[in-house]
Amino acid sequence: MTTAKNIETASPPRQDLRARPRWTWLVRRREILVSAAIVVVVAASTAVHPYFWSSSNIAFIFADSVVIAFLALGESFVMLGRGIDLSVGAIMGLSAIVVGFQIQNHNMTLLPAVLLGALVGIVLGLGNAVLVGVVRLPPIIATLGTLSVYSGLEFVVTNGNQVDTIPSSITNLGSDTVLPGIPVILLLTLPFVLVSALVLRHTRFGRSIYAVGDDAEAAYRAGIGVQRVLFATYAISGLLSGLGGVAFLIYTSGASSTTGVGDNLTAIAAAIIGGTALTGGVGGAVGALVGSVFLTVTLTALSFVHVADVWQPAGVGVLVLLAVVYDSRSRRGSVAWRPRKRQRQRQSQRGTR
Amino acid sequence: MADHAEPAAAAEPAGVAGHGTQPAPRPQADSCTDYAAYGVTKRFGEITVLSDVSAHFFSGEIHSIVGENGAGKSTLLKVMAGVYPCDEGTLVLGGKVLPALTPREAQRAGIYLVPQEPRLMPDLSVAENLYLGALPRRRFGGVAWRVMNDTTDAVISAVGLHADPRLVAGRLSLAQQQLLECARALSRGCRIIFFDEPTSPLTAHDAEKLFGVMDQLRGRGLTLGFISHRLDEIEAISDRITVLRDGVVVAHAERGGLTRENLVTAMIGRQLTVTRKAGHPREPGAVKLEAEDVHSPPEVNGMSVRVRAGEIVGMAGLVGSGRTEFAETLFGIRPAVSGRVRVNGRDITGASPRKCIDSGLVYLAEDRGRSGIFADVDIARNATAAIVQRLPRLAGVFLRPRKEQELAQAGAQRMDVRASSVAAPMKTLSGGNQQKALLARWMLAMPQVAIFDEPTRGVDIGAKESIYEIIEALAANGLAALVISSELEELVRLCDRVYTVYEGRITGELAGDAITPEALGQLAVGA
Amino acid sequence: MTTLELPRRWRVPAWGLALLVAIVAELCYFTLTTRQFAGHGTGMLALSEQFAPTGVLAMGLAMVILTGNIDLSCGASASLAAVIAGTILEKGGSPVEAILLAVAVSTLFGLFNGVIVAYVGIDSLLVTLATQFIITSIATSVAGASPPFGFPGAFTLIGQGAVNDVPIALWVFLVIALAIIVTVGHTNVGRSMTLIGYNLRAAQYAGIPIRRTLTAVFTLCGAAAGVAGVLLAAYYNSAQPDIGTDLLLPAITAVILGGMDIFGGRGRIGEVVLAVFLLGYLSQGMLIEGDSSLSITMVTGLVLIGALVLKFAFERNLRQRLTARMQRLRTLSRGARS
């Protein structure tokens, strides 16, 4: 089969694209990079303060990162679908309050508490799910609204009271260690991370979240129920935030009407640092955990070198900026200017072919 | 997969035939994958893109649809693949009439359209893209990765794509992405595959690979449809050719039934009802636009162009030949890696669009929906968008809406925009009127040079004529006009000179009476 | 040739009207049910001191959202401005110095945001997410262990004083609102903002200076945040480092409730002003009734959601009817031509 005789000489045949050797793939993965960064920070801090590398400190760091890890995990689900959830902190707070009161006033034990937390989380998450998946409000606005409502509800539910008495049988989970440096609470968190990772990477539902985040219209044409997927991601985010509330109780043994107020954006920050992009389609569960741990490690390290607590938020901000600039250099061009933009309707006047 | 014998007496004339003449259907073959469209009519708003079109796609054949830009080729395949519903007509697959199709249903029926721009998920792997929406499942609900990857390996090798199934699809080249789309069709068991202009962005080498794949598929009895502008390709691989012109079937032939000249004549050769205006010769003035050896890889590879005041110069070429990218480089949207651009003697290489406009160069973009109009904004503000800082003001700072509207109205009237008022949103205008409103915008900027990129795309006949008159009047007043167009007749009508472009280089320059559709057609396909 | 008509009538904006009706209804309700609300008629005006800072912040945010971006850091910027002003006053500086420096600093941070968004090309949500954290830290640090309080009367007058019964804070808000309405509707920069919000790419092709405009927008938002911070410090007579952060949510809510499209382009600043009043009096009325601030937040959230659901439903219906009408017109015109 010949093509035209005097077409310009063909360009040399392309290199067949085989996979590069396994190890380079590993190095490029964000989770590995951030984990390596964690190791670097730990090493550097230990060099300055040997106490940094001690069982109790490491355990403390892990325990400290668990709450944000839950929130970031939930946020990841939503962000992978190219959405955003500004209400995770409020859901966490409400869950902590409701469960906390049950524990405090009605002697609820751990397992029912966890279930209750999950339930509260799902119900609240459904609010977001309906607004985004059914009513089709833009996620920023929908979760802004629910953030306000849920924050307000926190006060209404506490009715001026506080949760301040959690039996040590529960709070010890936050401080007891199974192995040197590994608090029990971390072990309780890991299954959720693993299940999330499994769902995201190995189920059709999980993969459809990535597809929807990458190109919702193409996903729709391929037969994926886009609205259903989005609905589910917000419900899951709520569920995980609810669990985060229980974790909060374990770790801080208290809750009040202002619990979770500042954590919404921190959760997003942790997810971004861990490799999940706001534009969707990239990132995952492990990244959320790793990002949260990295955040906590770095902030703890800062306090070890006597940087005042006041500068912790700034630390988060700087890390987010670094992650975002790094992403804009390494990903396809710069991070899209407006990832929140609606898909444009195709004009009927275009393309008369 | 039976072999079909050549039909004894082909019922079609060799050469131009009136539309509606259909060949006798093939005697046997895999008739359950024979796919036919009967009397399809499709309108977009007020423009009729397809009018009573019928076409048969038989199994074991490559059936090519040819025609100029705007003839309706792509729309026909899209209708047959369920992307658009047709306003009239029926689709018959294997003897059964198909109900209204969606792309998903079409796929289930075995019909797949490989779009001109392959639309893959850039962050998902090759295997996942292949199986999008239908990932194979393991017993407990998990995704069967190994099975998927292995099958992917097999499927994509069958189409000549060599890539790791785990690679993210965004890293594939365009040619590879097309092959992946092809593989996707096969993996879904589709026996009818349409290719919408796949070779336009490909190099000769990649195009050959694709043809190899198509040949294979044909041998396996699949039904293939193919669109291309490259007549050599068409002649080489088609078993059957249908020529569309302005939405109507004007010719139909089997392999060897049409000579090249007949083909080109059928594509473009109606009598030009309006020839170039007598009194056309304008004395071209000074050189207003000068581009020297402009490079902007990979699409623009050293183009040099010169336009004088009062001249209308055209740029002909296939889609993807780099003309739009060239214009965008001149206008500062794309970086110019090397070369010089001068407007009225002033060097504006690499200047931003703002500076270009202020220096006297304007650009009417090809894709007005994305790059031209502000759909929800009123006509007045659309019209003044390029000259906001030159608008009359109060105290030197404050814009005056009333004056602005008057200015916009004057401009719009000069351009013959038909609308109820300049306060109407742009999106309520027809395509032709939107284009004229955009012309008003650019002319309000009082340019010395204007680049018109596909000025009548998506515009109905009446408005087309109107736009031609406007361009000619502007040139008569001293504008240096560069017209990029894929419609050969348009170039013949308007231009004093035409450059032909192929793969980012100027391949020829025709002037005066040498500008004929045939000559342009030949040069544009790189012959 | 065609005869285009110049638009004669000024169409009444439907959403603005709805807001106005809601405000009137709300004011009536509160006046009738709560004794202290109207307070000899001037009570309502005095109440506006409370939400004037939110209003100013919303004005700055509205411009940013108009371009299709967002600024999550403006609340923190307001806090920083308040703290800086307070610190200067505590150290004996004059109110003028305090105000100028406070606004200058917040403007600088706005400029920083703008430069990163416009020139480095990173999404505004991400950038302002990060700067919000950073500015919060700076504010807390400057405030120190005991945040400044107890400012000279000349300063607190701005937040608590009144001229002809109209609070100075309200004057400030209205003046800024007017300035921004005029800027958006009648200046180059404002026109550029609007067009960028509608279609960034088309704006680029039309020669609109994208980077300069975006930088300007964020800078202006920073300046507005600074003014809001000053008003807050003056009203509360103290400068807690989180004084402004609480304003972010109500400010965004006001902008959205005011009909601005979160994706940019559509919306009128005037309607945002109405939304500020609507939400402001809502929260004030509820406060006087005795509701807590957090349940006010809850009601605000419900109002936002409810209003938007209505708006989306209304627009979908409108769009369907509009397309139907356009199709009918086209068939008619086609028939007339052939």
| pLDDT per position as a tens digit, B400-418 | 888 899 999 999 999 988 8
- State mean pLDDT over A56-68: 89
Angstrom distance (rounded) from CA A88 to CA A69:
12
Q: By the 8 A CB rule, do C106 and C82 touch?
A: no
- State mean pLDDT over B182-198: 88
Closest CA to A88 of A283, A196, A235: A235
Which of B320 and C16 is assigned the larger pLDDT?
A: C16
Mean pLDDT across chain C: 87
Instruction: Give the pLDDT score at B462.
Output: 75
- State mean pLDDT over C206-224: 96
Is the backbone peptide bond immediately before B122 cis, with ω within 30 degrees of 0?
no
- Measured between beta carbons, the chain A residues lying within 8 angstroms of C133 are 265, 269, 313-317, 320
- State mean pLDDT over C254-282: 92
Q: By the 8 A CB rule, do B481 and B314 touch?
A: no
Angstrom distance (rounded) from CA B60 to CA B80:
18
- Measured between beta carbons, the chain C residues lying within 8 angstroms of B385 are 195, 202-203, 206, 208
Check CB contact under 8 Å for A17 and B171.
yes
Angstrom distance (rounded) from CA B210 to CA B206:
6
- A326 near C CB under 8 A: no
The H or E element spanning position B112 is strand B111-114
Instruction: Give the pLDDT score at A281.
Output: 85
Angstrom distance (rounded) from CA C126 to CA A338:
11
Query: Using H for helix, E for strand and C for coil, what is the string for B450-462?
Result: EEEECCCCCCCHH
* Sequence-separated (6 or more) residues with CB below 8 Å from residue A27: A33
Check CB contact under 8 Å for B419 and C4.
yes
Angstrom distance (rounded) from CA B410 to CA B389:
18
The answer on pLDDT for A15 being more than 50 is no
- Measured between beta carbons, the chain A residues lying within 8 angstroms of C120 are 325, 328, 334
- State mean pLDDT over C316-322: 74
Instruction: Give the pLDDT score at A132.
Output: 95
Check CB contact under 8 Å for C5 and B421.
yes
Instruction: Give the pLDDT score at B68.
Output: 74
* Sequence-separated (6 or more) residues with CB below 8 Å from residue A145: A131, A137, C253, C301, C302, C304, C305, C308
pLDDT in tens, C165-180: 788 999 999 999 999 9
Angstrom distance (rounded) from CA B278 to CA B341:
33
- State mean pLDDT over B216-222: 90
Tokens 């040069």, residue located: B523
* Sequence-separated (6 or more) residues with CB below 8 Å from residue C258: C19, C58, C62, C267, C268, C269, C271, C272, C273, C274, C275, C276
The answer on pLDDT for A156 being more than 70 is yes
Chain B, 466 to 505: residues with Cβ < 8 Å from chain C are none
Chain B, 90 to 109: residues with Cβ < 8 Å from chain A are 103-104
The answer on pLDDT for B189 being more than 60 is yes
Cβ atoms < 10 Å from Cβ of C332? 10
Angstrom distance (rounded) from CA A74 to CA A76:
5
pLDDT in tens, B92-148: 888 888 887 888 888 888 899 988 777 888 889 899 999 888 888 887 778 888 888
Angstrom distance (rounded) from CA A160 to CA A154:
10
Alpha carbon separation from B267 to B76, B166, B315, B464 (Å, rounded): 16, 44, 19, 19
- State mean pLDDT over A190-218: 92
Q: Which residue of A has its CA nearest to C313?
A: A135
Token representation of residue C287 = 């406060």
Q: Which residue of B has its CA nearest to C10?
A: B423
Percent of chain B topping pLDDT 70: 90
| Least confident stretch, A202-206, B456-460, B498-502, C265-269 | B456-460
* Cα angle value B250/B251/B254 (rounded, 5°): 160
Instruction: Give the pLDDT score at C155.
Output: 84
The answer on pLDDT for A7 being more than 80 is no
Q: Which residue of A has its CA nearest to C130?
A: A317
Own/partner pairs for A226-229, CB < 8 Å, 24+ apart?
A227/A133, A227/A134, A227/A136, A228/A133, A229/A81, A229/A205
Instruction: Give the pLDDT score at B141.
Output: 73
Q: Which residue of C has its CA nearest to A327?
A: C122
Nearest by CB: C191 against B357, B388, B409 = B388
The answer on pLDDT for C2 being more than 90 is no
Residue A82 pLDDT class (50, 70, 90 cuts): very high
The answer on pLDDT for B8 being more than 50 is no
- State mean pLDDT over B473-491: 89
Angstrom distance (rounded) from CA A331 to CA B168:
12
The answer on pLDDT for B251 being more than 70 is yes
Instruction: Give the pLDDT score at A333.
Output: 40
Q: By the 8 A CB rule, do A87 and A267 touch?
A: no
Tokens 């706001």, residue located: A278
Residue B298 exposed, middle or buried by CB count within 10 Å (0-12, 13-18, 19+): exposed
pLDDT in tens, B265-280: 777 655 444 455 444 5
Check CB contact under 8 Å for C191 and B357.
no
Residue B526 pLDDT class (50, 70, 90 cuts): low
Closest CA to B379 of B428, B415, B452: B428
Q: By the 8 A CB rule, do B66 and B241 touch?
A: yes
Q: Provide ipTM, 2 decimals.
A: 0.85
Single-letter amino acid, residue A289: L
Single-letter amino acid, residue A118: A
Q: By the 8 A CB rule, do B419 and B433 touch?
A: yes
Check CB contact under 8 Å for C141 and A257.
no
The H or E element spanning position A200 is helix A184-202
Q: By the 8 A CB rule, do A299 and A312 touch?
A: yes
Question: Which of the listed ranges A214-223, B86-95, B330-339, C211-220 does the model predict with the highest average pLDDT?
Answer: C211-220
Mean pLDDT across chain A: 82
Token representation of residue C185 = 């509707």
- What is the C-alpha end-to-end distance of chain B, expressed in Å? 37
Mean pLDDT across chain B: 83
